[in-house]
Structure formats: C-alpha cells, structure tokens
C-alpha cells in the first residue's frame, strides 16, 4: 500500500461526507475505490464502489477519516484528480475532476486521454 503526503488522487470534503454516510448505512468501512475501465462513450469510464479492504498495490489518500483507494493500473489515468460529490436540481452524483482528460461525455462518467 502506498500512502503519500501529497496524494495523487484526493476526495473533496463533500465526497468524504457522502462516502462516510453510505458506508455507515451499509455497515461497511469508509473506503471508496475508484477504478478506470475501458468503455463508455469517450474511451474510459470511472467505476466507484465501497471496498472492504485496501489492496497491496493501492494508492490511498484520506479526507476526514474516509479513504480513497486507487489501483496501480488506474492511477496513471487519474493522477491529480479530485473526486467530488455534487448535488444539483438534476440530481446528486460523484464527479471526477480529471486534469488528464482531453475529452469527456455529457454524463461525466467517461473520458479520453
């Protein structure tokens, strides 16, 4: 497990609060896993989920007691990102602010590098 003082990927305080709430409701640890998969309308898509444990090759950052885990393969595509949680009239969702993305789709769940 790699943990850094200046993490490659971070959780915003609003995202950390939402993950903590979801984890508490589901009785799981407050660990959000962010992964990147091929697919989506722009080439890659983000995948989120609560994790039970931290894997050996994960890079981990922590905000307000909530951990964000990213596997080594996905890290190259999301380095420097901030995972945020936004609420608007259109709904509420996790959103990745990815400085590496050169294109994205309207729904915000896929991107191209």
Measured CA angle at 69 (ends 67, 72), to 5 deg:
155
Residue bearing tokens 């420097």 = 80
| pTM greater than 0.85 (yes/no) | no
How far, in Å, CA of 30 to CA of 100, rounded?
A: 27
Domains of the chain: 2-112 (2.60.300.12)
pLDDT at 103: 54
pLDDT digit string (tens) for 41-59? Answer: 667 888 989 999 999 999 9
Q: Confidence class of residue 95 from pLDDT cuts 50, 70 and 90? A: confident
State the Cα–Cα distance between residues 92 and 21, nearest whole angstrom: 14
């Amino acid at each position: 497990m790699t943990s850094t003082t200046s993490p490659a990927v971070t959780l915003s305080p609003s995202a950390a609060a939402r993950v903590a709430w979801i984890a508490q409701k589901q009785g799981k640890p407050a660990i959000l896993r962010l992964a990147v998969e091929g697919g989506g309308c722009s080439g890659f898509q983000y995948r989120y989920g609560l994790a039970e444990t931290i894997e050996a090759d994960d890079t981990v950052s922590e905000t307000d007691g909530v951990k964000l885990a990213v596997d080594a393969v996905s890290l190259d595509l999301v380095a420097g990102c901030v995972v945020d949680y936004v609420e608007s009239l259109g709904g509420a969702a996790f959103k990745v602010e990815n400085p590496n993305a050169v294109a994205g789709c309207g729904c915000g769940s896929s991107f191209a590098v």
